[in-house]
Amino acid sequence: MTDAEMTHDWRDDIFEALVNAGIKQIAYVPDAGHKKLIERAHAANEMRAISVTTEEDAVACLAGAWLGGDKGALLMQSSGVGNTINMLSLMTTCRFPMPMFVTMRGEWGEFNSWQMPMGGTTQAHFELAGVKCYRVERAEDVADTVRAAIDQAYNGDCMTAVLLAQKLVGTKKFAAGSAGDNKQ
Amino acid sequence: MSAPEIIKKSDGLIDRRILVANLMHDRSDDLLVVAGLGSPCYDLMAAGDHPLNFYLWGAMGGAVPMAIGLAAAQPTKRVLALTGDGEVLMGLTGLAAAGAEGLDNLVVIVLDNGRYGETGQQLTHTARGVDLVQTAVGLGFKSTRRIDSTEEATELRDWMQSVQGPAFAAVHISPEAAGMSLPPQDGAFLKTRFREYLGMPPR
C-alpha cells in the first residue's frame, strides 16, 4: 500500500460524499464508529448536525428537513435501528427520502453479547420495514456505496441504509480499567 | 373579520376547536404547521385546510422532532408543532432535542386534555401528576406558558408569532370530543403540496 492509501480514512469518504450530495442536515445519535464523521459534520459550514437522544427522533427530524427543502442523512449504530421501526412508517407512507449510515455491532469480534440480538437482525428488520440495504466490509468500497445509497434515496424518494460492517469499523475493546476505545 | 372568541365548555375548560381556529385566524405564509396525530389534526383541519399544514396520521411522538428538522430547514419561517399531550408524551425525547438545538423559530403548543382521545379517553400522565410545562423548562425551552384561562389563551396567537423559540405552551383544554374533521390522508400528497407551496416543484 502507498502512504496515501495507508493514511486514507473511509470516514472522510462518507463526509465528502455527504457534502458533494448537498446534504444539509445530519441527524444522529452519538456512536464511536461515527465519531470523526460527527465532528466533521459539526465543524462544517455546509451542514447542520443535530444530536438527538433516540433514533426515531432523527427519522422524524429528517422528514421535517425534506419538507422544508433540506436533504438529510442519519448516522447511528445498529442497536439504534430497533428504535426507528414505527417512525419509518412516516417515511414509507409519505415517500420521504432518507439515507442512513449504520455502524454495525454484535458481529465480527464483538465482546458484548447484549449487542448481538439487534446487530444480528439489523438488516432483516430494515428490509421488513422497506429499507434498501448495502453492506460494506472493505474501506475501498465505502465511497462508491455511500454515493449510490444517497442517489438511490433521493432519486427514488425512499430509504436506503449503508451497513458499515464491524470488521471495517473496528471492534470495541473491553478490559477492566480501559476507556474502551475503538481500535481505529 | 376578527378572530373567533375563545370560550370554555360547560366543564369550565377551554374549547379546543375554537382555540385552534383563533390561532390560525388570518395566518400568513410564514407559518408552517406540523400537527400531531388525532384531534390536533382534526382541529387544524376544521380551522381551514392549508398547503403549509402537515397532518400526521401516525408516527406518534414525531410531531416535535419533525418540526425541528423543518425549523432548521426554514429559519425565516415560524414553525409550529401543534399536538396533544398523549402524542408529546410518547416523544418527550424530541422536546429534549428541541431544547438543546435552540431554534428560535420553533414553537410547540400542546392541547392538553389529560386524555387519550383516540383510544377511549384513558387518562394520560398529565392527568396523573406529570407537568409538561415544568418538563419543557427543564429541557431547555426558552419561553414556556401554561394556559388555563380564555384571557391567556387569547394572547397565545400573538405570542406564537413573536416569541423567541424554542417556545412551549400547554393549553388546558376540555376533554370533550370535538368531532372528526378529517384532513387528507395521502402523505405523499401532503408532502408534495407543502414543498410546492414553498417553491420546490415536484421532481
A94 neighbourhood in chain B, CB within 8 Å: 187-188, 190-191
**Among A56, A62, A67, the residue to mutate for chain B (most B Cβ within 10 A):** A67
Task: Please give the pLDDT value at position A173.
Answer: 82
Cβ within 8 Å, pair B69-A25: yes
CATH of the domain at B93: 3.40.50.970
Say which of B60, B97, B203 has its CB closest to residue A57.
B97
**Domains of chain A with bracketed CATH:** 3-168 (3.40.50.970)
Length of chain B: 203
Higher pLDDT, A108 or A61: A61
Cβ within 8 Å, pair A58-B65: yes
Grid coordinates of A68: 422544508
> How many folded domains does chain B comprise?
1
A-B contacts at Cβ under 8 angstroms:
126
For B143, other C-beta atoms within 10 Å of its C-beta total 15
Say if B203 falls within a structural domain.
no
Angle between helices A55-67 and B63-73 (to 10 degrees): 40
pLDDT beyond 90 at A47? yes
Interface membership of A49 toward B (CB under 8 Å):
no
Whether A139 and A4 have beta carbons less than 8 Å apart is answered as no
Domain that holds residue B55: 16-197
Task: Please give the pLDDT value at position A172.
Answer: 78
Q: Measured between CA atoms, how close is A133 to chain B, in angstroms?
A: 22
B135 neighbourhood in chain A, CB within 8 Å: none
Cβ within 8 Å, pair B65-A52: yes
Cβ within 8 Å, pair A95-B188: yes
Say if B6 falls within a structural domain.
no
State the average pLDDT over residues B21-26: 98
Say if B108 falls within a structural domain.
yes
Whether B70 and A64 have beta carbons less than 8 Å apart is answered as yes
Q: Measured between CA atoms, how close is B138 to chain A, in angstroms?
A: 15
Phi, psi of B36 (to 5 degrees): -70, 155
Name the DSSP letter for residue B11: T
State the average pLDDT over residues A137-142: 97
Residue reference for cell 394520560: B124
Nearest CA in chain B to A24: B73
Say which of B60, B67, B190 has its CB closest to residue A94.
B190
Say if B83 falls within a structural domain.
yes
Between CA B163 and CA B179 the distance in angstroms is: 31
Task: Please give the pLDDT value at position A183.
Answer: 42
Say if B80 falls within a structural domain.
yes
Say if B31 falls within a structural domain.
yes
Say if B146 falls within a structural domain.
yes
The reply to whether ipTM tops 0.95 is: yes
Nearest CA in chain B to A26: B69
State the average pLDDT over residues A77-81: 97
State the average pLDDT over residues B110-132: 97
- Residue of B60, B48, B55, B50 whose CA lies nearest to B20: B48
State the average pLDDT over residues A84-102: 98
Task: Please give the pLDDT value at position B80.
Answer: 98
Residue reference for cell 387544524: B44
Interface membership of B188 toward A (CB under 8 Å):
yes
